[in-house]
Amino acid sequence: MKRNKVFILVLGLLTSVGSYAQEDPHLQKLTHGLLQLRQAKSSDKVLNETVIDWSASGCPKLTLMDEIKRDESNEFRGKGANKFKVNQVVTHVYNRQNTGMVSKGDYFNSTEKDVFYSAIEKTVKKGCTVTYTLTGHIGEQEFVFVAFNPNAKFTAMVNNKQAAPADKSVQHLKIGRVKATDKIVFSITNNSSSNESFVILNHNPQK
C-alpha cells in the first residue's frame, strides 16, 4: 500500500512538471523574468535588466495586451497596484524592438501582425473576479498567469477551462486552435484576503 502511495505521488509530480515543461520556450523565458522581478521587488536595476533581456537581438517581439477593456468594478487601480511594473517594462521593450510608434491604440494590441507574444498586468480586488475578452487571435493559444505574491490564492480560467498550477503562484493553460472571429474569454478570481497583482502572458502563433 505504501509503495502504491509513493508511485501515485511521483506520477502526480511528473504530470505537473510535464505540463509546465510543455510551455513555449519563450513563454518560459518571460515567466522566469517575472519571477526575477518578483524576487527583486521590481527594483529599478532588475527592471532595466529585464527590458534589455526581453528586447535583446533575436528575441521574439513582445507587445502589450492593451486592447482588452478594463474591468472597472473588480480591478484595483490605487496605490500599490501593478507591483511587477510589467506594463512599463513591455512598453520599453516594444519601443526598443520597433520604430515609429504613433499611438498606444495603434500598436499595443495582441493581434499585431508578426508579434506572437503579449503581456499585461492587472491588480484584482480581494474576493473579486476580473473577466476579459480577446478576439483576432489565430491558432493554438497558450496562457500563463503569474501572481506577484508567491502565496496568492487564485483561480485562472480561459474559455471555461481552468489553468493548472505550475507552482503555487504560476498557472498555465493551452487551449485548442481558434479562428480570428472566435472570442477568447479569460478570468482571474482573487481568493486572497488582499488585492493581488497578476501578469497574463499569451502566445498567439497567428497560424
Q: 515609429: which residue's cell?
A: 100
Cell of 156: 485562472
pTM reported for the whole predicted model:
0.87
Task: Tell me which residue range forms the domain holding 191.
Answer: 2-203
Cell of 127: 474576493
DSSP 8-state assignment for residue 99: S
Domain count for the chain, please give it.
1
Specify the range with the lowest mean pLDDT, choosing from 6-15, 37-46, 69-78, 136-145.
6-15
Q: How far apart are CA 161 and CA 175, in angstroms?
A: 8
Nearest Cα residue to 197 out of 58, 105, 87: 87
Confidence of residue 108 (pLDDT cuts 50, 70, 90): confident
For 186, other C-beta atoms within 10 Å of its C-beta total 23
More confidently predicted of 200 and 102: 200
For 157-173, what is each residue's pLDDT tens digit?
999 999 999 888 999 99
Q: 145 pLDDT exceeds 90?
A: yes
Q: What is the CATH number of the domain that holds 70?
A: 2.60.120.380
Mean of pLDDT values over 98-109: 61
Cβ 115 vs Cβ 149: under 8 Å: no
